[in-house]
């Protein structure tokens, strides 16, 4: 059942990746760039971890956990940036 939830978020992240790629090319700013990095990092982390899990590769799962750490860090950086933008208004 978990694989279905992973598929939903993977499709959503592909949509966000395409959308933010367009936005960054059109008008690059920090929030859009972080959004693009988030989508790319999520796809890398999710696909790496899932592939390693299916193959029983513990080193691959460990590596994917570091990518998840990067993804989580980018999420909080984006949240801090958004809260800072609201303070300036």
Q: How many residues does the chain have?
A: 89
pLDDT for residue 40: 92
pTM for the model: 0.78
Q: Which class for 64: exposed (0-12), middle (13-18), buried (19 or more C-beta within 10 A)? A: buried
Mean per-residue pLDDT for 79-87? 77
Average pLDDT over residues 53-81: 88
Query: What pLDDT is stored for residue 18 in this prediction?
Result: 93
Residue 21 has pLDDT above 90, yes or no: yes
Instruction: Give pLDDT, residue 7.
Output: 82
**pLDDT reading at 33 higher than 70:** yes
């Amino acid at each position: 059942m978990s694989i279905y939830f992973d598929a939903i978020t993977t499709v959503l992240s592909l949509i966000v990746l395409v959308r933010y790629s367009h936005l960054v090319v059109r008008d690059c700013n920090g929030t859009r760039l972080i959004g693009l990095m988030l989508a790319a990092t999520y796809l890398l982390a999710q696909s790496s971890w899932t592939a390693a899990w299916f193959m029983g590769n513990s080193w691959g799962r460990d590596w994917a956990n570091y990518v998840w750490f990067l993804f989580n860090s980018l999420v909080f950086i984006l949240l801090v940036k958004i809260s800072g933008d609201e303070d300036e208004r």
